Amino acid sequence: MKTRSLCKMKYAITVCCTLLFFTQLQAQISGARTVGGTGANYSTIAAAIADLNALGVGGGGARFLVAAGHREVAANLVIVASGNISDSIIFIKNGTGANPLRTMAAIPIAPETIIARLL
């Protein structure tokens, strides 16, 4: 009877450890991702940054292609994920047309004022 309880306990611990391990395995963001526009990976820059902060940047870095003409009003956005020279984090305009523009919410500003400029 004691052996049976021990086997059940080992099984339970193994299952718990396995579940814990796999819930921690989330793919980091790497490669090109699109922001804004039809069929994009992210509808907003804020959503892309939230995902980047949650998952981190993977090997080779992350490149966010922001649709030309994309407009977004959002609170202050902070990137806490860290990159480096080989795993850089890049936000860049994608396509022809007006430059993307992100303005901060709840601050009265002139429409032509750029709060965040994307390269």
**Cross-strand bridge partners of residue 38:** none
pLDDT in tens, the chain (119 residues): 556 665 565 665 665 445 445 444 568 999 999 999 899 999 999 999 999 999 999 999 999 999 999 999 887 788 888 888 889 999 999 999 999 988 877 655 555 554 444 55
Cβ pair 42, 51 in contact under 8 A: yes
CA distance 85 to 61: 9
What is the per-residue pLDDT for 83? 85
What's the pTM value of the predicted model, to 2 decimals? Answer: 0.67
Distances (CA, A) of 16 to 7, 11, 12, 19, 25: 14, 9, 6, 5, 14
pLDDT tens digit sequence for 75-104: 778 888 888 888 999 999 999 999 998 887
From 82, 93, 112, 111, select the one nearest 45 (Cα to Cα). Answer: 93
Cβ pair 42, 32 in contact under 8 A: no
